[in-house]
A and B are shown apart, each in its own frame.
Chain A
Amino acid sequence: MASFLGRRALHSAIALIGLILAVFFLVRLTGDPTDLYLPIDASLETRKEFAHKHGFDRPSAEQFLVFLKDVSNGDLGYSLRKQRPAMELVLEAYPTTLALAGVAMVLSITLAIIVGAIAAYKPGGVFDRISSMASLAGASAPDFWIAITGILIFAVTLRWLPTSGVGDLPYWILPIGVLMLRPFGLMVQVVRAAMLGALSSAYVKTARAKGVGETAVIFVHALRNACLSIVTVAGDLTVGMINGAVIVETVFGWPGVGKLMIDSVMQRDFPTVQATIMVTATAIFLLNIAIDFLYVALDPRIRHQ
């Protein structure tokens, strides 16, 4: 078990390093930030001075070494755009994103477990067919399209909800709804399949033969086993939610990490891009480890290997 976790952690760490490398060099392919930050008629002198100040005049490899050294001192550089430590910007933006993603994830997992379990209880029944269709639609709907359509219908036409920004409950409904759609759709199908297998298993027959009530059969015996595959997929979807967050935050003007990332890329704010990616990747790394621990905690067969 320790070796299982160790191996998984090592894989994640290697992936993290690879990602940092890729981001560092790729972001430099987007062009020279000097063009964006200085007036068009800035003199060559000023340009050189700007490039020198931020180290852009040195070869990429050397810049990377400097970057590594700074990172190891806990310094992720200054935002070109805001003239503030990039890390500060990222840490400011994170709680908003976490709130959005957290609520969306908890809601979609909870709802998906209820819907998927009911669907699996009577496979082929009316509820199963309706929920299968709905979840398939949810899983395959393009979120940017849904987001814009949602704004058009509920904010522009019906005027029930605000178009964008952050505030009290009405501001949350559209972003969370859009962000939930895909994970919810996929999770319903995963829960349904896992529950279908669990409910037709021999141990469920044993539980029934023992006189255990149907509610406990479904939500204790079957669901507890189904959890093993649910957790794996839920973990991946949580990680994938970063994607969704970038789109949703951009469309709804939600001041989170996704929006910060896009804005920084657009403005070639390299240090901020690097900082958002580093922090996000570390968060994913930690999340993966947490999921592995959860998985081990849930499956005694792995625990005793």
Chain B
Amino acid sequence: MPDPILEIDDLRIEFRSGGEIVHAANGVSFQINPGETAAILGESGSGKSVTAAAVMRLLQSPPAFITGGAVRFKGQDVLGMPIAKWRDYCGREIAMVFQDALTSLNPVFSVGWQIAELFRAHGVAFGRDANARAVDLLNRVGIPDPALRAKDYAHQFSGGMRQRVMIAMAIALGPDLLIADEPTTALDVTVQAQIMELLEELRAESNMAMILITHDLGVVADVADNVAVMYAGRVVERGPVSEVLARPGHAYTLALLDSVPRANSLGQHLKPIIGSPPDLARIPKGCAFHPRCRFATDLCRNEEPPSVAVTPRRIAECHHVEAVFNDS
């Protein structure tokens, strides 16, 4: 086993505002190896973006506070190192693509300028050299007329093209890990597929590791090696995609699979997950999923579930792993 490129260990994040404490991450543990694609799957509000922002050290404090846990990137303690040192890793060795490319690009600088900024900020290239490299990158992510388009601004691009620009910035310095936070959610379905294809192609070219945050089970099945399923600020199940999706070990994963159309469940009725995600300021006692779970027992209502090794490479935090496993 190689050393993981990124390890998140029992990460706890809370938002304190107006006397209320929102527990956005409650002991998130996750790791990814070099060259691997790992998906983070979960309903809206389960803490996916907050976790990614914590890794990139983009959380504003206040209101966000990291109250526990550790993040290690290539063995280095991320949260403890001076911010200036971490910023030097950012862009160079770890990069991020955000969901909404329109607001994520600066509206008053040309996209070429913003891509070239990576070279300047990291002292790799300046002036014309940096600009020429920016044009090359635009070309690599499939933007026609790159030399001309480099002078344009974000608002002059279509949604898909904007996301390509974001991707160009992310891969500019050949990072070893790319975090893509719902890179296609804001796009048309046809464009979504193109962007995913581009990401996967670029990833494979340089054997970069990629964390793909998504709602889309289809995408997970297509591109990811491993998947982590998040619920109420915890990773409740993780393991190889093929195994987890074929036979979930956590009641939530199973419910998630039953709630979306799948090729192999053709003709079956869709079962939306009943109820709504928990209020993170008032997370239910015991297993956070129990109010919505058809397997729930008194045990689930009172005690936090243990980490169960479903198979040697899989972990699920559920009191009823066996029952779920046999049900699916």
- Name A's B-contacting residues (CB within 8 A): 124, 200-203, 205-214, 216, 221, 224-225, 228, 298-301, 304
B95 — nearest CB in chain A belongs to which residue? A209
Point out the residue from B60, B105, B121, B155 that lies within 8 Å of A211, measured CB to CB. B121
CB within 8 A of B108: which of A207, A212, A298? A298
Is the CB–CB distance between A209 and B56 below 8 Å? yes
Cβ-neighbour of A213 out of B121, B153, B166 (below 8 A): B121
Nearest first, the 6 closest Cβ-Cβ pairs linking A and B are A211-B91, A211-B90, A202-B103, A203-B106, A210-B91, A300-B153
Interface string of B208-233 (1 = CB under 8 A from A): 00000000000000000000000000
Q: Are A211 and B88 in contact (CB under 8 A)?
A: yes
Place the interface of chain B in its size category. Answer: 35 or more
15 inter-chain pairs at a CB distance below 8 angstroms, sorted by A residue, are A200-B60, A202-B98, A203-B105, A203-B106, A205-B98, A206-B106, A208-B56, A208-B57, A209-B96, A210-B90, A211-B90, A211-B91, A221-B106, A225-B108, A298-B108
Give the residues in chain A near B58, CB-CB below 8 Å: 205, 208-209
Contacts of B122 in A (CB 8 A): 211
Q: Given contacts A202-B98, A300-B153, A304-B153, is CB(A210)–CB(B107) below 8 Å?
A: no
When the two chains form their complex, are residues A301 and B121 in contact, meaning their CB atoms are under 8 A apart?
no
B108–A211 contact, CB under 8 A?
A: no
Instruction: Give the residues in chain B near A224, CB-CB below 8 Å.
Output: 106, 108-109
Interface of chain B, helix or strand or loop or mixed?
mixed
How distant is A207 from chain B, measured CB to nearest CB, in Å?
7
Given A210-B118, A210-B169, A211-B121, are A203 and B104 also a contact pair (CB < 8 Å)?
A: yes
Q: Which residue in B89, B104, B106 is a CB contact (below 8 Å) of A225?
A: B106
Q: Once the chains bind, are A205 and B117 in contact (CB under 8 Å)?
A: no
B84 (CB) vs chain A CBs: closest residue: A213
Q: Spell out B's residues near A (CB within 8 Å).
A: 53, 56-58, 60, 62, 83-84, 87-92, 95-96, 98, 100, 103-110, 117-118, 121-122, 153, 155-156, 166, 169
CB distance from A119 to the nearest CB of B (A): 16
Chain A residue numbers with a CB within 8 Å of B88 are 211
State which of A200, A203, A211, A304 has its C-beta within 8 Å of the C-beta of B118.
A211
- Measured in the bound complex, the distance between the Cα atoms of B110 and A301 in whole Å is 11
Residue of B nearest to A207 (CB): B106
Q: Which of A201, A208, A304: most chain B CB closer than 10 A? A: A208
A225 to B169, CA, bound (A): 20
CA–CA, A15 and B226, complex, Å:
68
A200 to chain B, nearest CB (A): 7
For the complex, what is the distance from the CA of A78 to the CA of B124, rounded to whole Å?
Answer: 67
Given contacts A209-B96, A213-B84, A300-B153, 9 further A-B contacts (CB under 8 A): A200-B60, A206-B98, A209-B58, A210-B121, A211-B87, A213-B121, A214-B84, A225-B106, A300-B110
Asked if A213 meets B87 with Cβ closer than 8 Å, knowing A206-B98, A301-B155, the reply is yes
| Distance of A278 from chain B, by nearest CB (Å) | 37
Query: Inside 8 A of A300's CB, which chain B residues have their CB?
Result: 107-108, 110, 153, 155
Q: Pick from A201, A203, A221 the residue with the most CB of B within 10 Å.
A: A203
Query: B117: which A residues are within 8 A, CB to CB?
Result: 207, 210, 212
Q: Give the distance to chain B from A305, nearest Cβ to Cβ, in Å.
A: 10
Task: A225 to B89: give the CA distance in the assembly, Å.
Answer: 26
In the complex the two chains form, is B87's CB within 8 Å of A208's CB? yes
A298 to B109, CA, bound (A): 10
Q: Across the interface, do A203 and B103 meet the contact criterion of CB distance under 8 Å?
A: yes
